[in-house]
Structure 1
């Protein structure tokens, strides 16, 4: 016997369970002088050992009886499994933003075009802004982009413009791309919108096409996305909407921070995290957008309040909707494959296409259940009634019937969700006897899995595992993996705390053949999937409507969840602010002691209030409370109070804090005066202004400070006539 084989045999005898693997691998590696019968004599117990728990998919078990272990059991990589609807709140959204700046007579005007790459929705907006770009920064911040596109405009020295410098400084996480101005072409923008926009779901009137800045920003955005993402959009496949800034309550980014609307740290809650009970990414994006820019349309606010009232009063309906939403896939990710086409077809694109078809089939099945739930409920809300009617679209049923003709529903019923199960789910997604080429490719794949089962056995503490990165391999669970010695026949070993992961050359060859077989299956499946896709594409408008319905219901359910979790009341829309026993939403949440409620009274005759008191008595908290309650009211949510009348505000200004600004070389007092000048310039009769300790940073007398406050107050109250009509 050769020395290597003696070492191999002695090593195998030393470790329980490793002998069977060594036997199979060595025989397949052509070590002829080791007789199979002799090995069986050496390891009789191991050959009769019980196999590990089967982790393969149900239909594969019946055909091949292949024994596999999910990679999580071997603790490889410390993978963490999450629910399909788990949303990573810290991740940046996949949004591209194009900004067009007006010149000459249009100087001071800006247009913003936003495309969300997951939902492929385009939002256009045009407005007049100040020299500090306050509205522009707020609009871009709401989109939370990963790329900002700007027209290249350099002076003789080649330095970028003031706008580019401001955006680069403020949005340092986003990539700022300067493109040639010829791509900002208004005429080309009109052509692209008419060619790519779906008129059924796009809300554009003739006046929008006359906004040259909007058209030019849209043209640059579409061209840039097609070039960077290497995709082409199908005709009449995009949803393009114009969002007038007049329908939103405007707040600057400083007010978002001052009023604690967004999370600034993990340990400090915010208004957004307080009311966030969404279960879909689209619902969260809608909630976030409404918190940062609350709705200023009175009819929309009233419809949302009615919807929340219906859900609060019908807890059974509310619970069923939440339970159904938790199992839904986001349609915005599914729309990507139906709207755009990759410029080349690969195995990865084929796998993604069939995966999205399976998700679409699952989601539309739940959409039918969602429609049935709303149909059986007694609704008073016009908003929920409209969404119920949108789910009754016969085109949705047409898509489901088309998918049922081709997709095998058994692949979606498998309980196991490990790597091999998910791969087999895509391989067996299409029904048998639809494509001869696909059936032959599957047979080859099954034969290879049978060969692996026959030639490599999982015994005792040595198991065959599968992962996407390594394919089939061995996992040996032992007490001291760092000191254990493997025979040289095994390669690519990875030692963890409780196991050793390794493979052999023959296993690698089998993995290569399996990958080739899977590629043939995916290519054959892709032909059928593309045919299904061509039949679905003319019906894409109903998918946009279904996506909007799901996100709106998720958004309303989140508001209702907060409304029932605290003592709240539905506010009334009026021309004054009257709040009886209102509580600060965040303080009411995290305080272990009883929170002292406060009243608020601001009317036409008493439109100016000065809050006085010693330190640490809650003056600043009270100011934030009034603003947060007004924001909750305008997004359609109930507020923590006994009674409330709140008007529809167009702007909310806040001057809170007394920090200096090193970037602009301004002292704390200069920062305060600069912000107050901006407030005095843009505040109007539909604005709420909150000022906290003006001139606090200056060492001046109390009478002088009071004079400053009264002078600003008189100017606000009388010259700007801040009343609610």
Structure 2
């Protein structure tokens, strides 16, 4: 790249250092280049302007007195991590350029090169990583000709990665929104929809398709990374698009990690049929991880559910909540272990006490393997390994332990050999930097012991030498001193100059004294001065050797990290169940769903168990679709959500907030709850509602669970009611388990037309002009909406409430009159005028037809057809 591309005057005369900087920058144009200069990392030109603005640090100039100034800023190397964290959180890509040559040995300019590239999705150091959250890098690819595509995601900090190939572009978007990654790789020929680009624009990295998404390159990299000779081993032989995205992730690994060692686990193709599918919309509507406004904490399910004590367990819990199982055998295996810990309070408390001392073994293993670990990491590893035997012993002592848990601890690896090495080698409080020494204990290495003795006891050796000279020559007045010019010296007043030995070499004469050195003092001084540097170098060599030794144990570390994560997951679910009084649900392959005294765990967590009113829900062949009516604020949405959440918890192997639950396995849960818009994507509230409804109608099957709240409320009354009616009919006909909350009382008529629809309502009580929400779900439709009463509770002014009641009464009277006229017109207008009206009615043929009509088996269309035929027969009569 030519110099003018760096946005500075082409005539500017550059120093050798800046020439070096620009030569390196040329290969990292999409990065902020942190250039090591002494004790600082410096940035220049446009990079400096960006960093100064984003980090709020001073922007200075390399040549402030020249006509053309070079923008410059810098940060101290010892505090660089805090600055890197801020930039990564803002989505920047950073290249770290270090000195790779000792400045003392450099003949000209110190040699420098980029030692690592940091990006938001590939960080393995503890910079912007959240302990209980995965840090996902996602890559997507779409083949327009074949109408096939793929998405893969990886967490470089833990080594986990997986992906799917699909013929549905929409499915790729759904996974992208669900994963909410920190970085997204896309090929340069991919036309990302504007709405998605706007949402993820700060996370997107556009890469050359020809190199990063090459099928041949992807295949070769998978062979190397996975150490295989056939894609069939990974179930990828018939998934070329998935091979491409895997290749792009591995290529990005090479670029960012600056090593040919691939640390990702064995790739596994995600099989959606193994899991209960929860798309991003359902996760958001059910507030599994965040509230509807995007905030975390109280009110979310994970806030109540997470009683894990290790980072690995916390991440596993979120993964299982995001993808519960679908197979009964797997669910019951985990359920049995949770039940075991639920009933073993003493054991669970002991396990929790031990797990609380465990560090992130998974991420420690990855950093060790990638040679990015610190001495503090090894202390954390050592402390973690001291806990493993204690946990193992606890489990071995238990009786009546579930077979699934027995399998877990029988394969247990205490890593005793590694613990012994670390206990012998690493200090309890070592230096944070591997180049500063003070890492290893005495006794670990003889050469290092001698250097430590010199550096830590040098002062004592100097005092011993002084004492020896004093006693040898009987000159107790002899003193030891030091300055930067001469180093260490012996000083004696001129009064005693006749006692100076012949081998004392005079170095300085003062007014009242003289300073000397001796060959022994000089030798000792040289040893002391260079011992510190030699010690640092020796400790650095030993640390690298130990790190390489530990890196070979990566698979053992990761295996035990998985064991700890599983154990933490089980005890966390048991702890939550015990804390909130949950029960073990019954699981069945049928389509039944029965919940007694069910509760919403997140709301109960906020208001308290004693303040929550539980409810029953039964979905069966006779009641596949429940139409739930009742006023706003009565709790319709809560009952809908809690039913879905109880199904999710069941399929995680968890206990549930209910006195009894029998749950038929669910393949997907769909949620259309609440009103929201998405102005960023150009979608109104009603458009969002209809988009989500359309997705449900396309994908929901008999094993799905659908919860719908207020369909059709975003448009006119008749349009909305017609849509809600049609949606309910469709779900009923397809036998989809559905909870349908609505304000359209007209929909309650569906119970008479469809045998699998039942009406329920949330009970309220009127007392002295006020309404009391009873929060109980009872059979039958609600008698009215209570909209004005709810408005009054919300604080709408009294004059508005009074006027609203007047208008409502007028409208209801008008509606009654209209209905009366319609009835009269439709039923009486076609009767012939006669003086003997009652006699005419008694003999009219319409009565004969009415005798043979069963209203319970009439659809609205059939009724309209009958009315039309009557109109044709008798509509000629006049009023």
Specify the TM-score bucket, using the shorter chain as the normaliser: 0.5 to 0.7
Distance (Å, rounded) in 2 between the aligned partners of 1:373 and 1:120: 30
Q: Which residue of 1 aligns with 2:623?
A: 606
Change (3 A) 1:166 1:661: closer
Question: Which of 237, 258, 261 is residue 288 of structure 2 equivalent to?
Answer: 261
* Residue of structure 2 in register with 1:446 after alignment: 456
Distance 1:529 1:382, change over 3 A: farther
Query: How many pairs were matched up?
Result: 544
1:579 to 569, 573, 595: 595
2:129 and 2:135 in contact (8 A); partners too: no
CA displacement at 1:517 relative to structure 2: 7.1
Cα pair 1:92 1:146 within 8 Å, conserved = no
The equivalent residue for 2:794 is: none
Question: What's the counterpart of residue 479 of structure 2?
Answer: none
**Structure 1 segments of 4 or more deviating over 6 A?**
85-88, 419-426, 448-451, 513-519
Q: Is the CA contact (8 Å cut-off) linking 2:175 and 2:279 kept in structure 1? A: no
Structure 1: distance between partners of 2:225 and 2:196: 29
Contact 1:190–1:209, Cα closer than 8 Å, also in 2: no
> CA separation in 1, counterparts of 2:395 and 2:232?
30
Is 2:394 aligned against 1:380?
no
- Counting only pairs closer than 5 Å after superposition, residues 511-590 of structure 1 correspond to structure 2 as 520-574=534-588, 575=590, 576-590=592-606
Q: Does 1:429 align with 2:445?
A: no
Question: By how many angstroms is 1:166 displaced?
Answer: 4.8
Provide closer, same or farther for how the CA distance between residues 358 and 268 of structure 1 changes in structure 2, counting only shifts above 3 A.
Answer: closer
Q: Aligned to 1:232, what secondary structure does the other structure show?
A: coil
Partner of 1:300: 330
Within the candidate set 131, 147, 164, 2:183 is matched to 147
Note if 1:640 corresponds to 2:670.
no
Gaps of 5+ in 2: 1-125, 464-526, 739-879
- Hey, what's the Cα distance between the residues in 1 that align with 2:206 and 2:403? 44
Contact 2:131 2:311 in 1 (8 A): no
1:473-502: CA deviation from partner (whole Å, max 9, x where unpaired): xxxxxxxxxxxxxxxxxxxxxxxxxxxxxx
Which secondary structure state, in structure 2, belongs to the residue aligned with residue 208 of structure 1?
A: coil
The answer to whether the 8 Å contact 1:353/1:526 transfers is: no
Q: Structure 1 residue 98 and structure 2 residue 130: aligned? A: no
Q: Matches of 1:87 and 1:326 in 2, distance apart?
A: 22
Aligned residue runs from structure 1 range 342-361, under 5 A = 352-361=373-382
C-alpha spacing 1:328/1:251, structure 2 compared with 1 (3 Å): same
2:670 pairs, out of 640, 643, 653, with: 653
Counterpart CA distance in 2 for 1:196 and 1:514 is 48
Q: Could you give the per-residue CA deviations for residues 364-391 of structure 1, whole angstroms, max 9, x where no partner exists?
A: 2211222111111225333322220221
1:281 aligned to which of 291, 311, 323:
311
CA distance in 2, matches of 1:514, 1:640: 69
SS at match of 1:611: strand
Q: How many Å separate the matches in 2 of 1:514 and 1:244?
A: 64
CA displacement at 1:445 relative to structure 2? 3.7
1: CA distance, partners of 2:594 / 2:225: 48
Verify the 8 A CA contact 1:277 1:558 in the aligned structure 2. Answer: yes
Query: 1:448 Cα shift?
Result: 7.6
Q: Distance in 1 between matches of 2:561 and 2:132?
A: 21
Which residue in 2 is equivalent to 1:120?
A: 159
CA separation of 1:210 and 1:108: change in aligned 2, threshold 3 A: closer
Report if the CA contact (8 A) 2:585-2:661 is conserved: yes
- Alpha-carbon offset, residue 338 of structure 1: 3.8
SS at match of 1:663: helix
In structure 1, what is the equivalent of residue 687 of structure 2? 670
Partner of 2:767: none
3-state SS of the aligned residue for 2:389? Answer: helix
Asked if 1:245 corresponds to 2:272, the answer is yes
- The match for 2:205 is 176
Q: Counterparts of 2:735 and 2:529 in 1: how far apart (Å)? A: 72
Deviations 1:44-88 (A, max 9, x none): xxxxxxxxxxxxxxxxxxxxxxxxxxxxxxxxxxxxxxxxx9998
Q: CA deviation at 1:285?
A: 1.4
Paired with 1:245 and 1:656, the residues of 2 have a C-alpha distance of 24
Aligned-residue offset at 1:666: 3.4
- Greater radius of gyration (CA): 2
User: Greater CA deviation, 540-549 or 712-721?
Assistant: 712-721
Q: Offset at 1:524?
A: 1.5
1:359-370 correspondence to structure 2 within 5 Å: 359-370=380-391
CA distances 1:683-702 after superposition (whole Å, capped 9, x unpaired): 1122111110111122315x
In the alignment, the residues of structure 2 paired with residue 403 and residue 204 of structure 1 have an alpha-carbon distance, to the nearest angstrom, of 40
Q: Could you tell me whether the CA contact under 8 Å between 2:195 and 2:681 is conserved in 1?
A: no
SS, match of residue 629 in structure 2 = coil
In the aligned structure 2, how far is the partner of 1:420 from the partner of 1:177? 40
Q: Is the 8 A contact 2:434 2:540 kept in 1?
A: no
Matched, 1:129 2:168: yes
> Are 1:192 and 2:221 an aligned pair?
yes
2:724: which partner in 1? 709
Q: Does the aligned pair in 2 maintain the 1:355–1:426 contact within 8 Å?
A: no
Question: In 1, distance between residues paired with 2:148 and 2:528?
Answer: 61
TM-score (norm 2): 0.57
Q: Flag the 1:134–1:115 CA change in 2: closer, same or farther, 3 A.
A: closer
Contact in 1 for aligned 2:159/2:366 (Cα 8 Å): yes
1:651 offset after TM fit, Å? 1.2
Contact 1:427 1:518 in 2 (8 A): no
Kindly indicate whether the alpha-carbon contact (under 8 Å) linking 2:375 and 2:434 is maintained by their aligned counterparts in 1.
no
1:220 aligns with 2:220: no
TM-score, with structure 1 as normaliser: 0.68
Q: Which residue number in structure 2 is paired with residue 48 of structure 1? A: none
- Separation in 2 of the partners of 1:657 and 1:514? 74
Q: d(CA) in 2 for partners of 1:648 and 1:542?
A: 35
Q: Equivalents in 1 of 2:321, 2:264: separation in Å?
A: 29
Q: Which has the higher contact order (CA 8 A, sep 6+)?
A: 1
Matches within 5 A, 1:686-697: 686-697=703-714
Pick which of 518-527 and 303-312 moved more: 518-527
| 1:722, distance to aligned residue in structure 2 (A) | 5.7
Displacement of 1:147 in angstroms is 1.7
> Following TM superposition, by how much is the alpha carbon of 1:613 offset from its aligned partner in structure 2, in angstroms?
1.2
Deviation of 1:617 (Å): 1.0
1:138 Cα deviation (Å)?
Answer: 4.2
1:247/1:190 CA distance change after superposition, 3 Å: same
